[in-house]
A and B are shown apart, each in its own frame.
Chain A
């Protein structure tokens, strides 16, 4: 990473199913920063995360990475993301290790960090079991390991702690801290007390709800 990476979000407005979800959302995240998306279900946390990933379209406003709108080059933006959605995106017929290998290769990323990522989340012994044998908490950890192994600068996590026990939550917090220390950014939607580290900004999209106002002039 040359210079300091910035994620700028300006005056973002979004709809879901034709209904306005939020408007006027703005924030800036710099290298090493973290943003917590808090608030009730249905408040727009997932919608906002998907827009940040380029998976969803904003009604208004723009998301910029180092000054460039992310919509200009979706593929380049995808390459800098570590995405964890609601679902784990694991294939039951493949083992944890095979799932990660496939995901990394499909995304054309180096497979080198795979074992370290699995160990960081305590999955070393489970790595070669079929994903269908794993509990939901274990599957969530495999999905998190995928994010770790991807070694991308911007992590977008949607409810990462679902199904995780206390030990695993601590492991996750440690991974996030390590990622931030290396200069990475984290945006996490969570209604738990997950500690994202110091200097974490908080944002509740539901506080920006209501009809999207017409643009002035």
Chain B
């Protein structure tokens, strides 16, 4: 447990010191969301209709940006070997990395999304669904991304590759997340959608680190 928390703490400290990385990801989020009204015209009705989808898709894309770095820095400087020799099973290493990733990327997205939703005229009733959905969905995306990141260690074009691999896997999260927002906006019950998101998260927590751990072992050997 100590090693697990120490790894999260170290990654958080690194993220704080190299703060530009996190800021860039959030800036990307803001810029891309801004592109939609610019591209589609500022009609409030249209924007409100697509707001849920735009925010979710953009959140996914922003997350993709940070995955190829997740293990690559450790692989490059030899730190991955040290993690493999830390006495922690690689499954726990992967889980710690996922937690750190979510705290530095997913959580800021959850906090930023409602502000951006204001610019897209999202109906007020949809906000709880948006925030809760992202709160449940972004950890799952972080976990799935850890699997992708572990698989592409040492690969060429790792950045694009990890997006190509992980995005299809996140489709269920996207579908239920957006469905929740739309249901919320229409005054329909959001419970079933959020429950499904929670179920996906519950499944991802044990399974994703297992796959990522296996992939990390291959990266090390």
Contacts and interface: CB of A to CB of B under 8 A. Distances in A.
Chains A and B directly touch (beta carbon < 8 Å) = yes
B221 to A, nearest CB: 6
A83 B6 CA distance: 19
Nearest to B220: A55
A181 interface: no
B6 A79 contact: no
A106 B14 contact: no
Interface in A62-82: 75-76, 78-79, 81
B78 A106 contact: no
Interface string A41-76: 000000000000111110000000000000000011
Interface in B55-93: 76-79, 81-89
Nearest to B1: A108
A86 B79 CA distance: 11
A78 B85 contact: yes
A170 interface: no
Interface string A170-206: 0000000000000000000000000000000000000
Contacts of B78: 85-89
Interface of A: 53-57, 75-76, 78-79, 81, 83, 85-91, 93-94, 98, 102-103, 105-108
A25 B3 CA distance: 35
A89 B81 contact: yes
Nearest to B8: A106
Given A75-B89, A107-B87, A89 B2 contact: no
5 A-B pairs with least C-beta separation:
A87-B78, A105-B6, A89-B78, A93-B17, A102-B10
A56 to B, nearest CB: 6
Contacts of B85: 53-55, 78, 81, 83, 107
A76 B7 CA distance: 19
B18 interface: yes
Interface string B1-26: 01100110110011001100000000
Contacts of B9: 102, 105
Contacts of B89: 75
26 contacts: A53-B85, A55-B220, A75-B87, A78-B85, A81-B85, A83-B81, A85-B81, A87-B76, A87-B77, A88-B77, A88-B78, A89-B77, A89-B79, A91-B10, A93-B18, A94-B10, A94-B13, A98-B13, A103-B82, A105-B9, A105-B10, A106-B86, A107-B86, A107-B87, A108-B3, A108-B88
Contact of A55 (B3, B18, B84, B88): B84
Nearest to B73: A91
Contact of B14 (A56, A76, A91): A91
Interface string B136-180: 000000000000000000000000000000000000000000000
Nearest to B17: A93
Contact of B82 (A56, A83, A86, A105): A83
Residue among B9, B76, B78 with the highest chain A CB neighbour number at 10 A: B78
A100 to B, nearest CB: 11
Given A79-B87, A91-B14, A93-B17, A55 B81 contact: yes
Given A55-B85, A75-B89, A106 B6 contact: yes
A141 to B, nearest CB: 15
B77 A106 contact: no
Contact of B3 (A56, A87, A90, A105): A105
A89 B3 contact: no
A94 B14 contact: yes
Interface in B21-56: none
Contacts of B13: 94, 98, 102
Contacts of A57: 221
Contacts of B6: 102, 105-106, 108
A106 B84 contact: no
Interface in B164-221: 220-221
Contacts of B83: 106
Given A55-B85, A87-B77, A105-B6, 10 more contacts: A89-B82, A91-B14, A93-B17, A94-B10, A102-B13, A103-B82, A106-B3, A106-B86, A107-B82, A108-B2
